[in-house]
Copies of this chain bind each other. A is one copy, B any other.
Amino acid sequence: MSRRIRRTPYTDKVEAAGVSGFSVVNHMLLPKAFQKSVAEDYWHLREHVQIWDVSVQRQVEIKGKDASRLVQWMTSRDISKASVGQCLYVPLVDENGGMINDPVLLKLEDNRYWLSIADSDVLLWAKGLALGAGIDVEINEPDVSPLAVQGPKAEDLMAKVFGEEIRKVGFFQYGRFEFKGTSQIIARSGYSKQGGFEIYLDDSTLGHNLWDTIWDSGQEFNISPGCPNLIERIEGGLLSYGNEMTRQNNPLECAMDEYVVLDGSIDFIGLTALRKIQTLGITKQIRAIVFDGKPCPTCSKPWPVMTGENSDLKIGEITSGIYSPRLEKNIGLSMIDRDYWNPGQEVTVLCADDLIREGVVSTLPLGEQRKTSD
């Protein structure tokens, strides 16, 4: 590791907790696994509570006179009615309607926002737009390092640490809570469907202290160090920027229709392109693939999804895939061509191990889901 791939305020702690590997997101370390297998970790996440170092969710702060104007220009979702204290999932699109990122937007003040980003340099995109168009804003990456507490016991743990008031924070809402004499933003959100919170720690010198506090208080709840779980993420239909979607995909293909306003009530980059795409109809859309055979290997290259009498027609590519011990099937995410995207469509999947596996197209999410959102 070099300095270029940045450590987080929690990296010392995740190392002490036995991290066995890292990934890199936004030029920063993301823990990838601890001692548990992905399957063990999956069951634990569904039953108990986990602490995740998700500092890689960097904040792009946009503030100043024209901040709302710039943010609205960047996203296909209407942000005009957003209130302070609200989090919004916002597709960012380019002039072709292609996905630039899919951050969570936090409205901090009337003209001050954080974009909590996936893996692309949104800061450079926003700065370029502002500088080019002469938009009066300041754009920075503040010293904010999210720590996620996820799982069904997260609320009890968070109430123990931050007080009962935290139970009142609604899904995709945030509040300010006291920690060691500082005021920290805590949202009910996270990259799982098991419920939980994200603490937007805005002072990295408190990182060790925050980790230890959650960890120690979490012992009675069987807390474990963790990270986004691939089985749980695929079952829940949580897409990953760079995996399921890139600039070559638009938000309609990503089934984000409810966050794409094309009636002209808002103006944003990509409006014209997306209207045209909508008129012509999208040619593919994200789906789950549920497929048989022995547990599939790691999906580091996309796996072709085939159909037709001789399985010689390619209709998609699985970009994230793994075996689900709950469904006792392999599961994956793939854009699927329009003529074949109906649930029940029979397919074959060509995994990297050259075994041919039979499967079907399915809607998302997969299996019974906990209700964690309004």
Contact = CB atoms under 8 A, between A and B. Distances in A.
A121 B130 CA distance: 16
A349 to B, nearest CB: 15
A304 to B, nearest CB: 13
A23 B131 CA distance: 32
A273 B345 CA distance: 60
A300 B4 CA distance: 8
B121 A120 contact: yes
B131 A299 contact: no
A132 interface: yes
Given A131-B95, A132-B132, A135-B132, A300 B2 contact: yes
Nearest to A1: B300
Given A121-B121, A133-B133, A319 B128 contact: no
Given A7-B301, A133-B133, A2 B124 contact: no
Interface residues of A, number: 40
A19 interface: no
Contacts of A120: 27, 121, 124
Given A24-B24, A125-B128, A240 B4 contact: yes
A366 to B, nearest CB: 19
Contact of A122 (B2, B124, B243, B301): B124
A100 B3 CA distance: 17
B27 A5 contact: no
Nearest to A302: B3
A299 B3 CA distance: 7
Contacts of A135: 132
A338 to B, nearest CB: 22
A321 to B, nearest CB: 10
Nearest to A140: B247
A88 to B, nearest CB: 21
A145 interface: no
B4 A269 contact: no
Contacts of A5: 23-24, 242
A270 to B, nearest CB: 10
A127 interface: yes
Interface string A77-104: 0000000000000000011000010000
A241 interface: yes
A1 B3 CA distance: 21
B27 A119 contact: yes
A23 B2 contact: yes
Contacts of A319: 3
A327 interface: no
Given A132-B131, A132-B133, A243 B3 contact: yes
A127 B2 CA distance: 29
Nearest to A121: B121
Contact of A129 (B1, B27, B132, B299): B132
A267 to B, nearest CB: 14
6 contacts: A1-B300, A2-B299, A3-B300, A7-B300, A121-B121, A129-B131
Interface of A: 1-5, 7, 23-24, 27, 94-95, 100, 119-122, 124-135, 240-243, 269, 298-302, 319-320
